[in-house]
Amino acid sequence: MLIENDMVLAFYKSDDHLKQVAGVLFSKIEQGELGQVVIPSVFSIELYYVLRSITGISSVRDVVSHMITFRNLSIIPSTIDHQLGALFLMDNYQLASIFDAIYAAVALSTENPDNTIISTDRVYDRIEGLQRIDPKNI
């Protein structure tokens, strides 16, 4: 199972409508209830772009540093295969965000054998072979 950055942001932002959902999700990850969960390493770059206007770089560094301490959560390094796959997905499914495309490419890769992504973003629903689970349903 791959976790998308919407839940990471909801977990760390002080005011987010999905904060409680993200708290439950990360608790289940930590306790091993979801098995091994993965996240692409590019999550840290996206966090920087999203949070830079809200907080400073040191806060982004603190979030990334905390994320790598979660039990049952593995960071998947981005590879050229993931990036090429992301570009293919952008072209074939009209994805607007390179980050969404990379999450989808990693979710469809061998590093994520169940081809499942945890996200509130419905863009993933139209990608063949990818199963999206809404975190509100976990």
Domain CATH code at residue 37: 3.40.50.1010
| E-strand stretches of 1-138 | 2-3, 37-40, 73-76, 116-118, 131-133
In this predicted structure, what is the pLDDT of residue 98? 96
Dist. CA 64–CA 74, nearest whole Å = 12
Dist. CA 91–CA 61, nearest whole Å = 32
Q: How many domains does the chain have?
A: 1
Task: Please give the residue range of the domain that contains residue 20.
Answer: 2-137
Model-wide pTM > 0.85: yes
Q: Which residues contact 34 (CB under 8 A, 6 or more apart)?
A: 1, 28, 72, 138
**pLDDT per residue rounded down to tens, the chain (138 residues):** 999 999 999 999 888 999 999 999 999 999 999 999 999 999 999 999 988 878 878 888 999 999 999 999 999 999 999 999 999 999 999 999 999 999 999 999 999 999 999 999 999 999 999 999 999 999
Question: Tokens 């996206």 belong to which residue?
Answer: 46
